[in-house]
Copies of this chain bind each other. A is one copy, B any other.
Amino acid sequence: MATRSWWGWGNVEDAVTPAERQQLVDRVRAVLPDADLTFHEPPDPADLDLPPSRVPPSDLCSTDPVDRLTHARGQAYRDVVRNLAGDIGPIPDAVARPRTEQDVVDVLDHCGSNGIAVIPFGGGTSVVGGVEPRDIDAPVVTLDLRNLDRVLEVDPTSRAARVQAGVLGPELEAQLKPHGLTLRHFPQSFEFSTLGGWLATRAGGHYATATTHIDDFTESLRVVTPVGTSESLRVPASGAGPSPDRLFLGSEGTLGVITEAWLRLEAPPVHRAGASVRFADWGQAVEAVRAVVQSGLRPANCRLLDPAEAFLNAGSSRSVLVLAFESADHPVDAQLARALELCAGGEVVEGAARRWRASFLRMPYQRDAMAQHAMITETFETACTWDRFAQLHAAVTEAATAVLRQVCGVGIVTCRFTHVHPDGPAPYYGIYAPGRWGSLRQQWDEIKAAVSEALSGAGGTITHHHAVGRDHMPWYTRQRPDVFGTALAAAKAALDPAGVLNPGVLTTRSSAGPAPR
């Protein structure tokens, strides 16, 4: 049985090996001979001075220190380096673990009546401060949904299933497999994130084109709110008023607790075709991606790596486009052939996709390992229309390079496209820079603010698939139409009159935190 790391990504058993760590350190030292790469052990959680809980333990509610600690924040670089530094900050007073939906109702009732804030919690892999009890005056209970982890019903005819929200990715796929069905939603966090988290944050999944977000796989939702339980009609599509599901998708635990969803499934693919294409010119590569996604071909994978990203993670020193088609029904070779025709100026290469896939899954572990050597390794993402991309890319690259120089002296900025739409790409940026032990969080915050300003100023969304949480609030409130903010705040006040649900997220500060009693 694997052990979840209390301070960093994933399982303790899967952390980087000493040899892998040495290799990473050697690679960094080769380019940054002057960096201080001293290794730092995480503190022992038993030595940390936690604030006493203001909530009594109960049958449902644990006040165990390690429980509280492991539910205090997500898995962003910002979270990991604070953990490593023993910088604990606010932690929940208790962790409630409902075993039934009625338990969820009871917790919300109790907290609403007692002025206790509630933070819904799935796998805890938020990278935006979504589950952190920051700036909340009231006591806080974190509602861990992990016990609600069953596929309750499968409809093989419609290819759909009713699933509890606390299920982890692998648990979900394991329960669907005997039915010959799959959700095929594989965010990088797949192993450690839950269905409820995906739904509440509008997560991005396996498909690079067409159906990129979990939204499109949602047939209906069941949501427990302080004023009652909402269950939308399970139909393939409806034009009856604004979509009820779309209000709860992306609501990040502020309007209610998603307890179940009917999901659209598919048969696992049996036909596959893929290739990697190398481009000497980044601009040409971007144009090729646009041509492919505007052709209507719908590749399952269409991931463009810039030269720096390709060098670090796919063994190439030029831009690489990883293309893949898949189908459960028919061969897809003709689609791949046509997509390759559209890649003008590109050259098919071997091995890049395999190397990329291997790197992709190790990245979070490597990020944490390097954080122990005071390296700043983190990502941020956005989406913009094609007409704005060149300018956004230049602005973000320039801002990131400048802030890295200022904050760290030096640094590398990489770019890849995780998803692409006919009207624009979702670029994902990586930064790699030598930090200063003791100041990593502050350094990252400066970098994050500078790049967020740049991408927001250039017309990008503050997030394509990482949600808003607490970290993106300044840019989210600027991006969101004020009128929609007014409507959302009104909906929030109606569904959560005591203001207990995830205060500080999505709705503005004025409604953050339960009203004083």
Which residues of A are interface residues toward B (Cβ below 8 A)?
155, 157-160, 201-204, 210, 212-213, 215, 219, 223, 225, 227-244, 246-252, 255-256, 264, 266-267, 290, 294-297, 327-330, 334, 338, 342, 383-387, 419, 421-426, 459-468, 472, 476, 479-484, 486-491, 493-495, 506
Contact = CB atoms under 8 A, between A and B. Distances in A.
Nearest to A329: B295
Given A158-B424, A219-B423, A494-B489, A240 B385 contact: no
B422 A266 contact: yes
A49 B3 CA distance: 81
B241 A476 contact: yes
How many copies of the polypeptide does the oligomer hold? Answer: 2
A467 to B, nearest CB: 6
A219 to B, nearest CB: 6
Contact of A252 (B203, B233, B241): B241
A445 B70 CA distance: 60
A159 to B, nearest CB: 6
A342 B495 CA distance: 47
B387 A158 contact: yes
A242 B483 contact: no
B237 A487 contact: no
A241 B234 CA distance: 23
A228 B461 CA distance: 22
B476 A155 contact: no
A466 B27 CA distance: 61
6 contacts: A202-B239, A212-B237, A239-B467, A240-B462, A241-B250, A330-B334
Contacts of A464: 237-239
Nearest to A493: B490
B479 A487 contact: no
Contact of A494 (B243, B476, B487): B487
B423 A483 contact: no
A295 B248 CA distance: 30
A240 B476 contact: yes
Given A158-B424, A231-B481, A481-B231, A238 B387 contact: no
A176 to B, nearest CB: 15
Which of A228, A239, A383, A467 has the largest number of chain B CB atoms within 10 A? A239
6 tightest CB-CB pairs across the interface, nearest first?
A: A236-B424, A490-B494, A230-B483, A236-B421, A246-B246, A487-B491
A264 B424 CA distance: 11
A486 B227 CA distance: 9
Nearest to A326: B296
Which of A236, A479, A488 has the largest number of chain B CB atoms within 10 A? A236
A514 to B, nearest CB: 18
Contacts of A246: 242-243, 246-247
Nearest to A221: B481
B484 A494 contact: no
B484 A247 contact: yes
Contacts of A383: 235-238
A329 B334 contact: no
A242 B274 CA distance: 34
Contact of A328 (B244, B296, B425): B296
A482 B230 contact: yes
Contact of A251 (B210, B213, B227, B241): B241
A422 B157 CA distance: 10
B240 A472 contact: yes
Contacts of A255: 487
B327 A461 contact: no
A460 to B, nearest CB: 7
B241 A488 contact: yes
